[in-house]
Amino acid sequence: MPYLFTSESVSEGHPDKVADQISDALLDHFLAFDNQSKVACETLVTTGLTVLSGEVKTESYIDVQTVARDVINRIGYTKGEYQFDGNSCGVISAIHEQSPDINQGVERASEEEQGAGDQGMMFGYATNETENYMPLALQLSHMLLIELAALRRENDAIKYLRPDAKSQVTIEYNDDNKPVRIDAIVVSTQHDDFDEEPAMLAKIKEDIVKILVPRVVAKLKPENQALFNNDIKYHINPTGKFVIGGPHGDTGLTGRKIIVDTYGGKGAHGGGAFSGKDPSKVDRSAAYATRHIAKNLVAAGVADEILVQVSYAIGVAEPMGIFANTYGTAKVDMNDGEIAKKITEIFDMRPAALIKRLKLMNPIYSETAAYGHMGRASEIKKVTFSSPAAADVTQEVETFTWEKLDYVDQVKQSFGL
Query: 356 labelled as ligand-binding?
Result: no
Q: Are 329 and 364 a contacting pair, CB within 8 Å?
A: no
Query: 376 labelled as ligand-binding?
Result: no
Q: How many CA atoms lie within 13 A of 118 on its CB side?
A: 22
**Which sign does the torsion angle of CA 340, 342, 345, 346 carry?**
negative
Query: 256 labelled as ligand-binding?
Result: yes
Distance in angstroms (rounded) separating the CA atoms of residues 227 and 53: 45
Query: 273 labelled as ligand-binding?
Result: yes
Query: 165 labelled as ligand-binding?
Result: yes
Query: 396 labelled as ligand-binding?
Result: no
Q: Are 146 and 157 a contacting pair, CB within 8 Å?
A: no
Distance in angstroms (rounded) separating the CA atoms of residues 255 and 249: 18
Q: Are strands 38-46 and 305-312 parallel, antiparallel or unpaired?
A: unpaired
For residue 121, give Cα distances in angstroms to 93, 258, 348, 372: 31, 14, 16, 20
Query: 370 labelled as ligand-binding?
Result: no
Query: 381 labelled as ligand-binding?
Result: no
Q: How many residues are present in the chain?
A: 417
Residue 88's closest CA among 43, 50, 42? 50
Q: Are 58 and 30 a contacting pair, CB within 8 Å?
A: yes
Q: Are 262 and 373 a contacting pair, CB within 8 Å?
A: yes
For residue 113, give Cα distances in angstroms to 116, 222, 277: 9, 48, 20
Query: 164 labelled as ligand-binding?
Result: yes
Would you call 307 exposed, middle or buried from its count of C-beta atoms within 10 A (0-12, 13-18, 19+)? buried
Q: What amino acid is encoded at 268 in this protein? A: A
Helices and strands: H and E segment counts in the chain: 13, 13
Query: 16 labelled as ligand-binding?
Result: yes
Query: 257 labelled as ligand-binding?
Result: yes
Query: 277 labelled as ligand-binding?
Result: yes
For residue 72, give Cα distances in angstroms to 27, 85, 137, 203: 16, 7, 28, 28
Query: 8 labelled as ligand-binding?
Result: no
Residue 342's closest CA among 399, 284, 407? 407
Binding residues for ATP: 14, 164-166, 241-242, 250, 256-257, 273, 277
Binding residues: 14, 16, 42, 55, 98, 164-166, 241-242, 250, 256-257, 273, 277, 281
Binding residues for K(+): 42
Binding residues for Mg(2+): 16
Binding residues for L-methionine: 55, 98, 250, 281
